[in-house]
Amino acid sequence: MGMALDSTARSLSDRVDALAAALRAAGVTPERSAALLASAAEAAMHALTLEALTEERRELAPQLEPPRSLARHEQPRVSLAA
């Protein structure tokens, strides 16, 4: 795991922990808290997955072919008379 990914994981974990504390402090029922925390944990895992994929992409970027020029795929412009 890269440093950026580790930092993101810690940050997200801290935020989920803060959410749990806020829910307890607000007197939210355990059932509702569990549902909210499950959603938060799922969102955190998606964020980590996205971070890992983008980090991998950045590491591979020098090895990838440059993108094709969009100019080759453009259609000629046509002027329409009003």
With a cut of 60, say whether residue 6 has pLDDT above it. Answer: yes
| Domain positions in the chain | 3-63
* Cα distances (angstroms) measured from residue 76 to each of 65, 67, 71, 72: 26, 21, 10, 10
Distance, CA of 82 to CA of 79 (rounded, Å): 9
Distance, CA of 60 to CA of 38 (rounded, Å): 33
pLDDT of 12-45, one tens digit each? 999 999 999 999 999 999 999 999 999 999 999 9
Supply the pTM of this predicted model. Answer: 0.65
Structure tokens at 56: 């991998």
